[in-house]
Every structure is written in structure tokens, then in C-alpha cells.
Amino acid sequence: MLIVIKEKNHESLIQKLQSMLSEKYGCESHIIGGNKRVLAVTGDTSGVDVEFLKNMDGIRSVDRVDRPYKLASRERKDRTMIEISKDCVIGDPKSVVMIAGPCSIDSEGQLDETAAMAKARDIKILRGGAYKPRTGPYSFQGKGEEGLKLIAKAGQKYGMKTISEIMKAEDLPLFEEYVDMMQVGARNMQNYELLKALGKSKKPVMLKRGLAAKLEEWLLAAEYILAGGNPNVILCERGIRTFEEEVRFTLCLGSVPALRELTHLPIIVDPSHAMGKTRWVKDAALGGVAVGADGLIVEIHPRPSESSCDASQLLDLEHWNECMDGVTAVAKAIGKRVV
Ligand code: PEP
Ligand code: MN
């Protein structure tokens, strides 16, 4: 970290800073440069309150040289690869892993039919929401534990791994019992108690980007899970809120190459929630593969109009097959295979 002091010979300010940095944060600091106005701070600066320093009288600027996330940083390692099953590794540079299933688990029959639709395209991971974070309290909130039991059953029947959204730390034992992976939804990206609880699990966690989260905030959220002891974190770009109203969210595909430089964690793209319309999902999915995502998560349903949730963006059989054909072609063009 570099701290630049406004005027020359501010010795007392420099002394004050040096003792504060050492006593409060255990960091060393050294005066550098001929005019003695730059303080280079070394050691673990991740806990230093940069905003407080910037607001102190006599300080011109404070710049972090290191990123505030240590464990998620690319400096630590090149790539994390998470083995979901023998033939399905998320983060393998040669594969695009597909996750598909309904938005919400509405009934055993609906989930079974949807899982069959996914299985027909050899999908290895089945998604389905049992606890739904709905904008309004009167909308269907999900089937809860019963939904988790249903997805476990469908996963077993079709030989697929499963993922479902967890919304509160107290539900962790249920998720440990019934699913293979856990999803943290966009609205809970900053639910820090939940993230800490997931740090104690060993199951892979797919952390969706918050509706208005910067990459740094998202990576710091991932850092909570990593710091808790769970190395199996996957990031999911699902679009952010901007001034644009024609599309449901603005899919930030630029985050994929940017994250690739910043972190070793795998990155998945969710074209369904970003676009919000069935007919647009495929194109966004192809974009996700083209920019180098490690996988996609897509919502599908045999009869979207019957769904309790997100009916307007679900892929029916025809759109699903078109999407998979396109994804397979783009993956092949960039030397990857669809898993
Ligand atoms: C979902 O995956 O069904 C969901 C609610 O996603 P998000 O948290 O991205 O809105
Ligand atoms: Mn949904």
C-alpha cells in the first residue's frame, strides 16, 4: 500500500501513521522517495481501513498495491478445478460444464420430466429451487425441504449431481443431506453469516453475483467462504442492474475475462436470469461460452407456462435443443467440449 502525504516534512503525520499502522494492523512502513512524502506499507494490509486513511488531514492519496482478497486472488494459484464427478470438472480449461433444470421445483412429475429433458442432452448437473427468493411475499416461495427431497430423488434416478439455492445458514444440514452443490443467489451474495456457514461445508458453492456488486465485492464475498475453509467456490455471472429496462438484467460478459485475471476460481454464466426472455437465452449462452466461461446454468421446463416461477425465460424442448446445439458448436470452435 502506498500513502502519499500532501506537503513536505510532515514528520509528525508520518510518525502518527507509522505507529498506527504498526500497532493497529501489524504492518511495517517505510518512507520512500527524496521528498519524504511517500510511505510504503508492507505486510498484511487487508484489514487496513483505506477510507479512514484517505480522509485524514494531510493525506493526498492511498493506493492498495495488493488486492484485499488473498485466498481468491490469482496471485495465489492459477486455476481451481472442482471435480463434481469423474466426468465433470468445473474449471477444467478444456470443458464447458452445463447445469440445467427448472427454476423452481413445483412437483415430482414436473421435476422428473425436466430432469429427463436435461438427461437427454447428457447434462451432468440438475438445478432446481426449493427455497425461492421472490421479490414479493405473495409469490410462490418454494416447496422447502420437500423440494430438496424431490431433487435428491431425481438426481438419483437420472444419475445426475444436484444443485439448489440455500438462503439461510440454519438450513445447511438439510442441504448437506440432500444436494451435491449449493447455490447462493444474487440477493444473498452479501449475506455474510450464510457465507461463513458455507465456509464450514466441503460441498461446492456456486456464488452468484449480487445485483449491484462490483467484481471486488463479489470476490470478497467468495473470500468469506474460502476463509472459512471451503476451497470449492464457483462464481456465477447472472447480470447486474443498470438503467436498461428491455432486458431483465445487463449480462456483464466482460466480467469473465476480467475475473480470469483476478482470480483462480471457476466462472459460470447464467444467461436465463440475465435475459429474462426464452427467445434471447440461447444467444447470451453462446456469448458466455465464447468469452471463456467454465460453464453455463440454464433454466428449462417442458411446458414453461405451467411454471410457478420465471415462466418467461424458461427454455422449452425446442429452445433447449437449439441452445445445446449452439453451445456445442461454439465450444468446439474454441477447442472445448461440453460436459
Ligand atoms: C435462480 O437461480 O433461480 C435465481 C433466483 O437466480 P438469481 O439469484 O441470480 O436471481
Ligand atoms: Mn429462476
**Residue of 203, 157, 196 lying closest to 177 (CA atoms):** 203
Which stretch of DSSP H or E encloses residue 268?
Answer: strand 267-269
What type of residue sits at position 316?
Answer: D
Please state, in angstroms and as integers, the Cα–Cα distance from residue 180 to each residue in 60, 123, 176, following that order. 50, 15, 8
79 alpha carbon – ligand 2 mean position (Å): 29
Nearest alpha carbon, ligand 1 atom 10: 186
Ligand 2 (single-atom ion) residues, CB below 5 Å: 103, 310
Confidence (pLDDT) at 67:
86
- Cβ of residue 239 lying under 6 Å from some atom of ligand 1: no
CA-129 nearest atom, ligand 1: 3
Nearest ligand to residue 166 Cα: 1
Q: What is the pLDDT along the chain (339 residues), one digit of tens a residue?
A: 999 998 766 788 999 999 999 999 999 999 988 878 899 999 888 889 999 999 999 999 999 888 889 999 999 999 999 999 999 999 999 999 999 999 999 999 999 999 999 999 999 999 999 999 999 999 999 999 999 999 999 999 999 999 999 999 999 999 999 999 999 999 999 999 999 999 999 999 999 999 999 999 999 999 999 999 999 999 999 999 999 999 999 999 999 999 999 999 999 999 999 999 999 999 999 999 999 999 999 999 999 999 999 999 999 999 999 999 999 999 999 999 999
Return the beta strands (E) in 95-189 as ranges.
95-101, 125-127, 161-165, 181-184
Residue-by-residue DSSP string for 74-85: TTT-S---EEEE
- Cβ of residue 129 lying under 6 Å from some atom of ligand 1: yes
Confidence (pLDDT) at 8:
67
- Cβ of residue 128 lying under 6 Å from some atom of ligand 1: no
Residue-by-residue DSSP string for 278-306: HHHHHHHHHHHHHTT-SEEEEEB-SSGGG
What type of residue sits at position 252?
Answer: C
Confidence (pLDDT) at 33:
82
Nearest alpha carbon, ligand 1 atom 3: 103
Backbone angles phi, psi at 181, to 5 degrees: -140, 155
- Cβ of residue 102 lying under 6 Å from some atom of ligand 1: no
Nearest ligand to residue 208 Cα: 1
- Cβ atoms of 80 and 265 within 8 Å: the answer is yes
Quick one: CA torsion of 197, 308, 124, 91, rounded to 10 degrees? Answer: -50
> Which residue carries 486472488 as its cell?
73
- Cβ of residue 133 lying under 6 Å from some atom of ligand 1: yes
- Cβ of residue 298 lying under 6 Å from some atom of ligand 1: no
Confidence (pLDDT) at 11:
84
Report the relative pairing of strands 2-5 and 59-63 from DSSP bridges. Answer: antiparallel
Nearest ligand to residue 236 Cα: 1
DSSP, collapsed to helix, strand or coil, labels residue 51 as helix
CA-270 nearest atom, ligand 1: 9
Instruction: Say which DSSP state 270 is in.
Output: -
103 alpha carbon – ligand 2 mean position (Å): 4
Distance CA 133, CA 233 (A): 21
- Cβ atoms of 255 and 215 within 8 Å: the answer is yes
Domains of the chain are: 2-63 (3.30.70), 82-338 (3.20.20.70)
Nearest alpha carbon, ligand 1 atom 9: 186
**Best mutation site among 131, 218, 238 for ligand 1 pocket (most ligand atoms within 8 Å of CB):** 238
Nearest ligand to residue 315 Cα: 2
- Cβ atoms of 275 and 256 within 8 Å: the answer is no
Distance CA 310, CA 299 (A): 9
Confidence (pLDDT) at 44:
87
Region of residue 201 (phi > 0: left; psi between -120 and 50: alpha; otherwise: beta): beta
265 alpha carbon – ligand 1 mean position (Å): 20
Nearest ligand to residue 310 Cα: 2
Confidence (pLDDT) at 34:
80
CA-310 nearest atom, ligand 1: 3
pTM of the model: 0.93
